[in-house]
Structures are given as structure tokens and as C-alpha cells.
Chains A and B, each alone.
Chain A
Amino acid sequence: MVATVLSVANATKRFGGLVAVNNLSFEVQQNEVMGIIGPNGSGKTTMMNLISGALRVSEGSIGLNGRFISTLTASQINQRGIARTFQLVRVLPGLGVVENCMAGMVFGHRRLWGDQARYEAGKLIERVGLSGKEAVPVGSLTYIDQKRLELARALASSPKLLLLDEWLAGLNPTELQEGIDLIRSLREEGITIILVEHVMDAIRSLCDRCIVMAAGSKIAEGSPGEVLADPEVVKVYIGEDV
């Protein structure tokens, strides 16, 4: 039997009159990589923010491993085991590479400190491919390396569920391939992941399943091959025949 890690039921988020997420329901199973795709402004990032606790749902519920989390704060949700990266990369410029990574494992789902935290951070830095860059000021890292660092910070809490918000966006073709390989290796380790992505190659090669959002609602769900062939999905992405 597969265990349900995350269950979202009828989640709705309103900003004044705007309904950014409209009555959305889905589940994520253990060891599954689920994609959320959809055109710009369809509410994907808002959905991620609802899961991570950056925003609170207006209606509906979100549960993690069978426990209700949609009224918790972002820090409490992180402590329960959800870690994320941000659409616009957010590294901590005043801290070093190792400290940036450590930040993820001191207060959250895993609480290490001192030499052990430093040691684990070192391993993660190697894991994401930042070996040898420990002494580089964080602001001088390349874009992909900043993204790697942010990923290391999210992995540092040893999360039950990892949220990647357009982690592959803005990478050049070589970097993109490196990025996809890195996420695939996480997938092989059995980490449960939700990823919001525009890069269709990545969706096809990484996701077990995906949901498609348009104007806040779910319009399709299934394997990447199925949903990308769905005429409704093609219509929201490319438009209708005239």
C-alpha cells in the first residue's frame, strides 16, 4: 500500500476579489514526483505558498501524513517536514556557503547543531555539486550554483516533502541538463517532490504524474504524456484554433 504524504482538499485562496486558487484537490504519494504545470498566472506558485505556509488557505484543507497543517505557520510546517525553494532564488548573502546550507537543518524538521551540522552540511554541499566553492561569497556564485545552494538548504532538513518552485527556470541548456540529473538523483533516493515547472522536458523525464492548472483551477491530472496530449491543456497553453 502506498502512503499518502500530502492531501490537498478543496483548497481555495482569494486575494480580495481575485481567486488565485479555486477549489483544488490532489494527493501526493510517498516517493512520488508530482508536477504542477500551467500558464503564467494560473496559481501554481500560490498553491506552493499554501502548502509551505507562506500563505493561508481561504477555504479547504491541507494535510501532511494525515495531520491537518493548513492553519500552521511556515516555520511550524517546515518543522513538520516540508521544505521548499523559491521561484526567485533566495540565498542568504551575509552567510557563507556552509552556513547557508546549515540554516536548513538547525531549526526545522531536523535539529542538528555544531560540528555535526557542519559535517552534514559539507556532505550536502558535495551532494548538490558545490564542492570546492565553500569559500566563495554567496553573492558571487553563479545562478545555477545559487540554486544548488538553495536546494542543499531545503534538503538539509531531511524533508518528507520537497517543494521546488521553478527550480530549473533561467538555466542555460548545459545547466538545465545538470539540474534535471540532480533532481532525478533525488527522485532515485526516494524523496517525495512537488515541482512547479515550465520546462516540459523536465516534466516528461522527472514526473510520475502531474496536474495542470489554469486560472486557479485544476483542468487535468495524469501522467505527463496524457495531460500534455489533452486538448484542453493544449488550448490553455497555445490557444484555440480560429
Chain B
Amino acid sequence: MSHENEIKSLVWGAVLLVLAACVPLVANGYWMSIALTIAMFTVLATSWSLFSGPTHYISLATAAFFGVGGYLVGTGMSDYNMDFWTMVAIAPVVGAVLAFLIGIATLRLSGVYFVIFTLGLAEMIRTLVSWIQNNFTGSRGLYVLTDLTEADIYIYLVILAAVVYLVGWWVNRSRLGFALRIIGNDETVARHVGINTATSKVILFTFSGFVAALVGALIAPRYTYIEPNGVFSPEISFIVVIMALLGGTGRLWGPIVGVIPFALLQEYINANYSNYSTLVMGIAFLVIVYFLPKGVVGRIEQLLASRGRSTW
């Protein structure tokens, strides 16, 4: 990409960011709530695809990190009388350490083994936390009581999204980003051109764990009452994957193209046919696999490219 294009895309990003930050000024309570969901999944799906996009390692561990973030805020504030912001500072560090350890443990796994391992691991953490909470920590309910409004949380998440986009933009132009793309193409070749594949993968996976835990911590006040089965729900991991793949992971801004329509669709389904939300998720997954393997963005680029060829 030329420097001119890079500056153009940065300017566009800044404009969109300012627009996003203006949403609380115009949205009512209902739309604010939807915007908050969209902001949350934008950050989760974008940071997920920083690792999984180029490497094609599909991680289903998002819920583990997100849950750790939410749960730490809950238990810190309810059981240990900690301040909300202190817990927000601690949670992402714990998430990053956890992701680092998982990254180290899964280095030798690839393909479907990695997928299953991350899913199993997230479930294990959920069960473990429930078990610890039921047997050792005194309180049953974890309350997160702050005076933050949904609009406040939304602004925090928009800022976090901006940081994630900047990091992603930097990674994409760096040697690290190039290494990840080579790993995603052929890990054997990657090793034979001198790439330390383990380090490259663990760095990005740790970053995505850090961000997911931070999102879980920041959004905890929205739920007021934290319950392990809620914040560690595997559905969060699946939705993140579906949204990111629907949008397309080939571009940094791909995931948000999937997040917005899917979040709106889910909202509509939940409001009108709440029993069918899992069905919608399944159908969305089939549609992606069959018709949009490179996401909406990938499909559009493909169409543009073929039109370009025929006119030239």
C-alpha cells in the first residue's frame, strides 16, 4: 500500500471513529443498548481476527478471556471490596497471562485440534470458576454496582476499538504481520525462512486475550449481576467467530462489516423469536461456509477484481 493510501485510510478511520463517538448524543436507550453490543463485539471480533485472520487458527477461547475479565471485576468488587477501575487494570493482565499460557500449550496443535482444544479449555475454565465460586468463595451473587451509564461504557469501548485498530494497522505493516501471513499460508515454509513461529503466534494470541479480558471487565457494569455461566458462555466465542468470518478477516475493518448486521439480526430475532437464536447462528454459519468463505468484504473485493479484469 502506498503512503498516500495509508494516510487516506487513517483519515477515514478517524472520521468514522468520531462519528461512532457521537452515537450517544442521538441514540435513545434502546439504540444505545444495541450500539453497546455492537461496540463490544467489534472490539472482540477485530482483536480475534488479528490473530486468527492471518494464521487461520480458529480460536474458540474468546469466552474464557472475556469471562475472566467480567468475573474478576465481579469477584473483586463483591468479595474483596476492590475499586472497579483497579479490577479493570488487573483483569486484562490476567487475561493476557492466561492467553500466553494457552498459546504456549497449544503451539504444537493446528487445524481442528486447536479449535477443539480452545473450546474445551474455555469450558474447563467456566466449570472451574463455577466450582470455586460454589465451594470456596462465600458469596453466591457477584454484583457490579457502578454509576457508569451504557453511554459511558460505550465510549470506553469505542476508545478501545480505536486502540485495537491502531495496533492492527501497525502489526499489518510490520515484520510480525508479514510473519503471521506466511505462517497462515504454510507453517513449514515459515519455519524454513527463519520465522520463530511460536513467538509470533503467542504474541498475537496474548494480545487478543488481553483485549477480550479488558472488554469483559469494562462491560461488566452493564450486567450488574455477574454469573460464571453467563460471562463464560461459549456462545460468545461462537458469535465472535461468526461475526468476524461473516465480515471477512482479510482486512482490518472486515469484522465490523459482519458485526453490525449480525448484531441487528440477533436483536431482531431475540425480540421476536427468542427461541430461534441458536438456529439463526447455525444458518449464519452455513451461509458463511458455503457462500462467503472470505466474508462479505472478501466477496466484494473478488467481484470488484473480476469486474476490473473484464473491463480492462
- Complex CA gap A86/B179 in Å reads 19
Chain B proximity of A102: nearest CB distance (Å): 8
Contact B185 A107 (CB under 8 A): no
Is the CB–CB distance between A52 and B186 below 8 Å? no
B86 to chain A minimum Cβ distance, whole angstroms, is: 40
B194 and A90 contact, CB distance less than 8 A: no
Which residues of chain A from 111 to 156 have a CB within 8 Å of any chain B CB?
Answer: 113, 153
Q: Which residues from B are CB-within-8-Å of A79? A: 194
- Least CB distance from B2 to A in Å reads 12
Interface size range of chain A in the complex:
20 to 34
- Tell me whether B186 and A90 are in contact (CB under 8 A): yes
- A161 CB, min distance to chain B CBs, angstroms: 13
Determine which of B178, B185, B191 lies in contact with A75 in the assembled complex, contact meaning CB atoms within 8 Å: B191
> How many residues belonging to B are interface residues under a CB distance threshold of 8 Å?
18
A90 touches B191 (CB 8 A): no
User: A202 CB to closest chain B CB, in angstroms?
Assistant: 23
Cβ-defined contact, A103 with B193, below 8 A: yes
Which residue of B186, B190, B194, B196 has the most chain A CB atoms within 10 A of its CB atom? B194
A-B Cβ contacts below 8 A, count:
68
B200 (CB) vs chain A CBs: closest residue: A107
Contact B175 A113 (CB under 8 A): yes
Hey, what's the 0/1 contact readout for B168-204 against A, CB within 8 Å counting as 1? Answer: 0000000100110110111011111111110000000
| Bound complex: CA A99 to CA B188 (Å) | 17
The listed residue with most B CB atoms (<10 A of its CB), out of A54, A90, A103, is A103
Q: Are B192's CB and A107's CB within 8 A?
A: no
With contacts A75-B191, A106-B175, A107-B179 taken as known, whether A95 is within 8 angstroms of B196 at the C-beta atoms is no
Q: Which of A72-93 contact B (CB under 8 A)?
A: 73-76, 78-79, 83-84, 86, 90, 92-93
B192 CB to closest chain A CB (Å) equals 5
Q: CB < 8 Å: which of B178, B188, B196 contacts A103?
A: B178
With A54-B188, A107-B196 given, name 14 new contacts (CB 8 A): A54-B192, A75-B192, A76-B194, A78-B191, A79-B194, A92-B181, A92-B182, A94-B185, A103-B193, A106-B178, A106-B193, A107-B175, A113-B175, A157-B193
Q: What are 16 of the A-B contact pairs (CB < 8 Å)?
A: A54-B191, A54-B192, A75-B197, A78-B191, A78-B192, A78-B194, A86-B188, A90-B186, A92-B181, A92-B185, A93-B185, A95-B185, A103-B193, A106-B179, A107-B179, A107-B194
